[in-house]
Amino acid sequence: MVMEDKIKEISQIILEAKKVVAFTGAGISAESGIPTFRGKGGIWEKYSPAIYGNLPGLALTFLLRPKKLLQFITDAYETFSRAQPNPAHLALGRLEKRGRLSSVITQNIDNLQERGGCRNVIKLHGDLYRLRCLKCNTQRPLDPTNFGLALQELGSTQPGRFGMIQKIREAIPRCLDCGGWMRPDIVFFGEGLPQDEWLHAQSEAQSCDLMMVIGTSGLIQPAASIPYLAKSGGATIAEITQERSPISPFVDYILLGKAGEIMPPIVEAVEKGLPKQKIR
């Protein structure tokens, strides 16, 4: 089946479905300039995930190589701060606005989907722009502008190791409720998924009629089980990917290519098929 036919069929399924859910991975944000962590040019090529992908490793780096930790945080911040929503993010936002997308279940920790117009985003791996207290679990937003300025100030200083440790320690935000240390509210290696988000994602997957799987490797568990939950519930699965994944043999439609090139025509076809009163 040629791409145009697949796009036409999927848009018709979206129009007829009672519930449509998108499941997104690193591939959708890679088109916005955020390299996949494991792919070529990804962050794990420069920084070992065994050290920088978990809290104990980060804590040890803080004590032994604080300047290297600052470099890691700065590199990550600059990569994410430059990224802008791409046409795939925007297309999903349009689909939600027109009442044809129930939710986006994402493995990404960026805020591109929200900036693309989606409001119901289930973040399985947390949110880079949110902090959580280590003591009382209170959450609060991270101000990216102030954070960037703090990194610049730290980077401009040239203290010794102990001086840098003290400066980083002073820069770590404290909880406004209990005074505890705040940490990024993201899921590091070895940590469990946030329970509320995981249960919500399972419920959305098991109750949808169509799941669009966009830009995921299908390797990271337990998140990778989401399409299979949707399939077991009777949903049609459409995968949009640049490379075939472990999920590919089980899907109903596979569209090979960039999500930013495939999603807009799907949404345009849906919009053409909607009665005017359905557009809000």
pLDDT in tens, 15-70: 999 999 999 999 999 999 998 766 666 677 888 888 999 989 999 999 999 899 98
pLDDT of residue 279: 45
Task: Give the mean pLDDT of 228-253.
Answer: 96
Give yes or no for a contact between 38 and 216, defined as CB atoms under 8 angstroms apart.
no
* Best CA proximity match to 146, nearest among 129, 134, 133, 163: 129
Catalytic residue among 125, 150, 230, 245: 125
pLDDT of residue 257: 96
**DSSP assignment string, 189-217:** TTPPPPHHHHHHHHHHHHH-SEEEEES--
Q: Would you say residue 180 lies in a domain?
A: no
Q: Would you say residue 46 lies in a domain?
A: no
Active site residue 200: no
pLDDT of residue 278: 47
The CA distances from residue 47 to 26, 61, 86, 241, in Å, are 18, 11, 27, 26
Q: Give the model confidence (pLDDT) of 153-170 as tens digits.
A: 887 877 788 888 888 888
Per-residue pLDDT band for 150 (boundaries 50, 70, 90) equals: confident
- The residue ranking higher by pLDDT, 157 or 3, is 3
Residue 97 belongs to domain spanning:
1-33+85-125+193-280
One-letter amino acid at 5 equals: D
Task: Give the mean pLDDT of 202-224.
Answer: 95
For the ranges 55-59, 83-87, 209-213, which has the lowest average pLDDT?
55-59
- Residues of the chain with pLDDT > 70, as a percent, come to 96
Residue 205 phi, psi dihedral angles, 5° rounding = -65, -45
pLDDT of residue 220: 87
Alpha helices in the chain (DSSP H): 3-16, 26-30, 49-52, 55-64, 66-82, 87-97, 112-115, 144-156, 161-171, 195-207, 226-232, 259-273
Number of domains in the chain: 1
Q: What is the mean pLDDT of the chain?
A: 91
Q: Would you say residue 135 lies in a domain?
A: no
Q: Would you say residue 273 lies in a domain?
A: yes
Is the pLDDT at 280 greater than 60, yes or no? Answer: no
Q: Would you say residue 244 lies in a domain?
A: yes
Q: Would you say residue 41 lies in a domain?
A: no
Q: Would you say residue 100 lies in a domain?
A: yes
Q: How far apart are the first and last CA of the chain?
A: 33
- CATH code of the domain covering residue 5: 3.40.50.1220
pLDDT of residue 41: 63
Q: Give the model confidence (pLDDT) of 93-147 as tens digits.
A: 999 999 999 999 999 999 999 999 999 999 999 999 999 999 999 999 998 888 8
Q: Would you say residue 259 lies in a domain?
A: yes
